[in-house]
Structure formats: structure tokens, C-alpha cells
Amino acid sequence: MTGSPTDLPRLVVAAPASGHGKTTVATGLMAALRRRGLTVSGHKVGPDYIDPGYHELATGRPGRNLDPHLVGEDRIVPLLLHGAQAAPRPADVAVIEGVMGLYDGQIGGDGFSSTAHVAGLTGTPVLLVVDISHASRSIAAVVLGMATFDPSVRIGGVILNKAGSVRHSDEVRRALEPLGIPVLGVLSRDDEVTAPSRHLGLVPAAERPGAAGSLDHLADRLAASVDLDAVMRLAHTAPPLSGPAWSAEEALVGGLPDSGPPALALSGPRRPVVAVAGGRAFTFRYAETVELLDAAGCDVAVFDPLADSALPEGTSGVYLGGGFPEVHAAGLAANRPMLTALRTALGAGVPTVAECAGLLYLCRTLDGAPMIGAVPADAAMSPRLTLGYRRVTAGSTNLLTAAGTEVTGHEFHRTTVTPGSGASGPGAAGAAAAWTWGDRVEGFATPTLHASYLHTHWAGHPALAARFSAEVARAHSRPPADSGRRAARIS
């Protein structure tokens, strides 16, 4: 099945480096175009969770990631089409925010997973955002270098950001004229459109009560300062995309090897419930994760570990994704009813997946504050940033993987967990390491628990979703007398 070519107007918002204003311009464009009555699909190159949260606020649709390392090159176009064609109506335009500098990707990978890489895979023209606050004519040299470094990348326009005055921006415009790359907008310095940051980047939109108001101001600025008609003309130069859109249902077909657990039966009076952590402390998860769980026959119910006192009714599985529990440790520790509910569920063998923030929440303590204690380890903030792509192997057969399975993912945290895996230290007896790579072992895994620092994109590895959902189905179908088995809590 190849699918008919699909016309999707689209553009990539890129920059020479981080800090030039990609997120400001991309999010502002999404909001300004939506105000015009257009349906806008927001996408982010790379693994980042925070920027897609702002995209969702701007577009009213889930923000989605396009990362060749996490999902493979062959899934980039299908996932782009899926995001653009998703309900309630197809998008009129897709805006893809880049990552770091235009040509920056996986270290040692010659630009693999860079913005330029994704622009090439999707045949998308680039709108380059350049911070001109510390230069004038020299900006033209930067733009020329970006435009000629890789002739296959087409820069179709420039937005000048942080201009000091009209005189300043006019000087830059004159220097750019011989290049033949049009200036589509000029933004002056404005602290009101700058999102606050902390130890892992921008503060998520879900944690900022004033985020919607800031977005309104940003949309006003973009509408007044950028030629939106010219932006749309650039987007319409993108060629049709070939092939079908990604489908969660089709991804799950064959998602398990023949030796794997059986697929989840979709029939029955009630579907099993997977409780997914949300709220201010757990804002990180990919939209396709929920879609895969739904396609596998599970009902996803979001709960707030900070505010809710009990798990959703009928919970047969738990998904604890990423976020900032270290910022909210006191509040999480104070919600004793939820800590008790989760201890009880994990102690009864309810299948549970925890990534990064979820791992910290399952530890005994986080910066000294008591947590769930299902993992015999203690977590603490660290001055060192751990950041990078990973290609890992499952050392054992467990809730998510068969032994020997290779998975791609990424790490991004400023915390440590001691001991760091189920394969280290006498206190971790009862669990295997979740992952191995090189000489490193990391995380905790049992038949009903998988807790690790690694973030994975299940669209790239649908077998993870299929295995988890199958185990959730088993938990859902067990008689009450059978539900007391203790498998998830590691002693």
C-alpha cells in the first residue's frame, strides 16, 4: 500500500543555532495562522516534549515529534501526515519547528536527526530565524553559509529577530538583498514573548497559568510583523508527500514477534483502563503513545499525582511518563492517598511503565522526600546534565521487551538514581536491568514493571505498546482472588 500523493502546505522553522527564537516564531506563526481560520498542525524535530506543549496551546491539536533516531527515517513522512490528517479535520498547513542549529544532529552522525535531515526527508522549505541583536551586515554572511552548506536544503525566507531599530533591520535587509532570499518579517526585542526557563529548558506550558495570555500577545506580534501571506506562499511550494499516513492500528499488526504474548482481544463489555500520569508534574508523553494504547483496546484515563487521591476506577495498567517531579517533590510526597494507591496497585502486580520522571516517582525518596518506594533506590538532583540519544538492548524478557531486543531512545535529566539498575547492589534483588548499552546497565525490569531513565517513542517500537497492552489485558481479566500477586514491587 503506497497511498496517493498528498498535498500538504508546510514549512520548517529553523535557525543557525539554539537561542535565535525558533520556538517563539514557530509557536507565534501557528497561533497567528490559526487566527486566520486555518487549521494548523504543529510538529517538532527531535525528542523534546516541552515545545510541542506550546504548539498544542497554539493550534488546539496535539503537538507531535519527528525524530529519525527515535522512529526511523521511514516513519517521518507517515507520522507527519498522521498529525496533519488527524481528527477533527485535516490541517491546512503544517509548521515544523527545528532543533538546535539547522545542521546539528546526532553527535558523530553527520547531521542525522537534524532539522536539515527532516526537511530533506519531507521535502519541506525552510524559514530561517536569525537573531540580529549583535550584528548587522554580518548576518548576510551567516545566511549565505546556511543556504549553501547543503544545496539540497532550500531556505525560502528569513525572519529577523530581536532587531534594535528600523535602521538596524534595514541595514540587514540591504545586506541580504544580493542573496535573493526574501525577508518575511522583522521582530523587535520584546521580553513579554520570552518563556521562562529552568534546569531542563523552557517551563512547560501546562505549568504556566499565564501561557495563554503570552501566546495571544505573541500572535499579535507575529501578525503585525510577519508577512503571513508570504509565509503561506512559501508553505505552498512544498511538493506532495507520497505514501500513507501512519496508523496506530496498522502499527500494532505484526508489532509482536511470533514468540511474543498474544494480541489483546478487543471484544468484551469493558475495555481495560490504563492510568496515565498527567498534571503539572508529569507533562511529557508522545501523542502516539496514547493512540497506540487506544488502538490496542485500552481506555486511557489521565490522573494527576499531585491532586488526585485515587487511581481511575478499574485501573489495570499504569503509565508514568516524563516531567518534573523534582520540582514538585514536596507536593507529590504530601499526597499520601495517591502514594498509597500506587503502592497498592504495584504491589498487586498491576503492569506499570515508568520513564525518567516516573522512575524518580517510584523510588524510595526524591531529594529526601518520600515517594512510592516500589523501586529500592533513592533519587536526587545532580549538577550534571545527562543528555543524548541511546541505542540500547534489553538484557532480559520483561514487561516491555523480549531479551535481546534493540530499542532507540534518549535521556535528558539532571538527577541520579542510586543504585542505578536492578543489576547493581543487593538492594535491587528481584529485578533485572531494564537496558544495557556498552558497559552500562540502567533501570529496573520485572514481568510487570519497567522503570528507566530512557524515553522511548512507541511509534518507532510498537512492540513495546503491544506487549504492555497484552499484559494489561491479562491483569484486567484475572479474577479478583488472583489480583494479589506481588510482582511489581522489588524487594
Of 71, 241, 356, 357, the active-site residue reads 356
Rounded Cα–Cα distance for residues 267 and 425 (Å)? 44
Contact 241, 317 (CB under 8 A): no
Encode the chain in three state secondary structure: CCCCCECCCEEEEECCCCCCCHHHHHHHHHHHHHHCCCCEEEEEECCCCHHHHHHHHHHCCCCEEECHHHHCHHHHHHHHHHHHHCCCCCCCEEEEECCCCCCCCCCCCCCCCCHHHHHHHHCCCEEEEEECCCCCCHHHHHHHHHHHHCCCCCEEEEEEEEECCHHHHHHHHHHHHHHCCCEEEEEECCHHHCCCEECCEECCHHHCCCHHHHHHHHHHHHHHHECHHHHHHHHCCCCCECCCCCCHHHHHCCCCCCCCCCCCCCCCCCCCEEEEECCCCCCECCHHHHHHHHHCCCEEEEECCCCCCCCCCCEEEEEECECCCCCCHHHHHHCHHHHHHHHHHHHCCCCEEEECHHHHHHCCEECCEECCCCCCCEEEEEEEEEEEEEEEECCCCCCCCCCCCEEEEEEEEEEEEECCECCCCHHHCCCECCEEECCEEEEEECCCEEEECCECCCCCCHHHHHHHHHHHHHHHHCCHHHCCCCCCCCC
Whether 356 is a known active-site residue: answer yes
Query: Would you call 89 exposed, middle or buried from its count of C-beta atoms within 10 A (0-12, 13-18, 19+)?
Result: exposed
Q: What are the residues facing 389 on neighbouring strands? A: 410
Contact 241, 41 (CB under 8 A): no
- What residues act catalytically? 356
